[in-house]
């Protein structure tokens, strides 16, 4: 019988719980072994983020500096002109980034609107630069997803952010299920999905692992999983939350590496609160991508020259560009996941959190 190569690992909560609660060094060893089985070369991908439309967002995500509902000091701006975006993209490429991620503070985008046409125009030009092109624009329908893919987007970032149970405590203007629907549209259009979450939203370890259970059950798997540590923003409901403990952060990186072995695991927001040593352990545990450059969307990131020094000191190398990044393939013997029926309802009522009945 031919070997079935597309069987994807999927982990349930009990697996993840057992893995997470190993002694710290056993967990690191386990994650390292999985990492070495799937990745070579001690490589780290450098990704540049650019906020192409900042602030004034209609949504009420309790952690976000860009929600119009909170007074955070972030001013609402218009969509950046293509020429300005191109300047920043060229600078990112010149500084060694192989992925350019553009974020917009919108609830979502719609075909036929001027702003969506402008974004497509920007994507068409950025995609000629030989970097992976990632966008994060909020909710997408199937047509929007198709047009983004055609314009040259390689990956769509849409995080589930936390467990399905905790999500309504953090956001009321859209649902966890809405997030999954957008992810399905992005995958159906053939884009890779970048999907992860934030630690530090007042969730329990159980919530973190439930979030990972949902992501680990995606079929196909995400191409990358960004793990953000909350950067508490004054003026937001979570502005006084405590910074995430480094060991808990590294444990999540390790479990993510084990649960989704072929995904890039990206150290995302919150690296300014992690020591160089903690970041080194995170790389050891399987992180192989970072946001690189002095700014995230609105918040601070470590300085680019400090990151380069750390990478060099650890004997890591910056990953070469792969602009033709193929979307991860689906496991052919089980249904796609997340899954929705023709009416946009979760396709299964068996209780699977991601809607696929698994």
197 belongs to the binding site for ligand SF4 (CB under 6 A): no
Greatest pairwise CA separation for the chain in angstroms: 62
With CA atoms as reference, report the closest residue to 278 among 89, 24, 10, 9: 24
> Which of ligand SAM, ligand DTB, ligand SF4, none has residue 158 at its interface (CB below 5 to 8 Å by kind)?
ligand SAM
67 belongs to the binding site for ligand SF4 (CB under 6 A): yes
The verdict on whether omega for the bond into residue 6 sits within 30 degrees of 0, i.e. cis, is: no
Is 337 considered catalytic here? no
- Report the residue count for the chain: 358
Of 47, 88, 99, 101, catalytic: 101
The tokens describing 338, both together, are 């997340």
With CA atoms as reference, report the closest residue to 89 among 131, 45, 46: 131
Is 64 considered catalytic here? yes
How far is residue 29's CA from residue 251's CA, in Å, rounded to a whole number? 11
Residues 43-72 that bind ligand DTB (CB under 6 A): 49, 65
DSSP per-residue string spanning 43-89: EEEEEEEEEEE-S-BS---TT-TTBTTS--SPPP-PPPPHHHHHHHH
Question: Parallel, antiparallel, or unpaired for β 317-318 and 224-229?
Answer: unpaired
With CA atoms as reference, report the closest residue to 154 among 239, 250, 264, 29: 264
| DSSP annotation of 331 | P
Is 352 considered catalytic here? no
Give 60 or 348: the residue with its C-beta nearer to ligand SF4.
Answer: 60
> Which of ligand SAM, ligand SF4, ligand DTB, none has residue 67 at its interface (CB below 5 to 8 Å by kind)?
ligand SF4
User: Least CB distance from residue 246 to ligand DTB, whole Å?
Assistant: 18
102 belongs to the binding site for ligand SF4 (CB under 6 A): no
Residues 227-286 that bind ligand SF4 (CB under 6 A): none
212 belongs to the binding site for ligand SF4 (CB under 6 A): no
Of 10, 88, 184, 194, catalytic: 194
How far is residue 209's CA from residue 225's CA, in Å, rounded to a whole number? 14
Number of residues that bind ligand DTB (CB under 6 A): 17
CA angle 344, 326, 87 (to 5 degrees): 95
Is 61 considered catalytic here? yes
Give 47 or 61: the residue with its C-beta nearer to ligand SF4.
Answer: 61
> Which of ligand DTB, ligand SF4, ligand SAM, none has residue 328 at its interface (CB below 5 to 8 Å by kind)?
none
Give 64 or 310: the residue with its C-beta nearer to ligand SF4.
Answer: 64
User: Least CB distance from residue 93 to ligand DTB, whole Å?
Assistant: 19
How far is residue 222's CA from residue 155's CA, in Å, rounded to a whole number? 9
Q: What does the binding site for ligand SF4 look like in residue numbers (CB under 6 A)?
A: 57, 59, 61, 64, 66-67, 105, 138
Annotated active-site positions, please?
57, 61, 64, 101, 134, 194, 266
Q: What does the binding site for ligand DTB look like in residue numbers (CB under 6 A)?
A: 49, 65, 101, 103, 136, 157, 159, 196, 226, 228, 231, 268-269, 296-299
């Amino acid at each position: 019988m031919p070997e079935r190569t597309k069987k994807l690992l999927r982990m349930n909560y009990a697996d993840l719980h057992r893995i997470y609660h190993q002694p710290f060094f056993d967990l690191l060893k386990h994650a390292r072994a999985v990492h070495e089985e799937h990745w070579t070369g001690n490589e780290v991908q450098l990704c540049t983020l650019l906020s192409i439309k900042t602030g004034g967002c209609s949504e009420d995500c309790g952690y976000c500096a860009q929600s119009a509902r909170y007074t955070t000091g972030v001013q609402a701006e218009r969509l950046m002109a293509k020429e300005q975006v191109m300047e920043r993209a060229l600078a990112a490429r010149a500084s060694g980034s192989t992925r350019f991620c553009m974020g917009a503070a919108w609830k979502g985008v719609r075909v036929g609107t001027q702003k969506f046409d402008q974004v497509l125009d920007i994507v068409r030009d950025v995609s000629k630069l030989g970097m992976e092109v990632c966008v994060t624009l909020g909710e997408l329908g199937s047509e929007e997803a198709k047009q983004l893919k055609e314009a040259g987007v390689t990956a769509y970032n849409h995080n589930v952010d936390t467990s399905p149970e905790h999500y309504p405590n953090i956001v009321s203007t859209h649902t966890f299920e809405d997030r999954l629907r957008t992810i399905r549209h992005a995958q159906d259009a053939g884009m890779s999905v970048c999907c992860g979450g934030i630690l530090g939203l007042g969730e329990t370890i159980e919530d973190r692992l439930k979030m990972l259970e949902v992501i680990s059950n995606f079929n196909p798997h995400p191409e990358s999983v960004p793990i953000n540590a909350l950067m508490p923003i004054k003026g937001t409901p979570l502005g006084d939350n405590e910074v995430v403990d480094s060991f808990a952060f590294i444990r999540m990186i390790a479990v993510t590496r084990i649960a989704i072995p072929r995904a890039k695991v990206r150290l995302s927001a919150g690296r300014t609160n992690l020591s160089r040593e903690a970041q080194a352990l995170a790389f050891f545990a399987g992180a192989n991508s970072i946001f690189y450059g002095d700014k995230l969307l609105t918040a601070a990131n470590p300085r680019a020259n400090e990151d380069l020094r750390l990478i060099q000191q650890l004997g890591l190398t910056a990953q070469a560009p792969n602009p033709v990044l193929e979307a991860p393939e689906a496991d052919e013997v089980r249904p796609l996941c997340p899954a929705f029926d023709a009416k946009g309802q979760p396709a299964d009522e068996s209780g699977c959190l991601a809607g696929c009945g698994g």
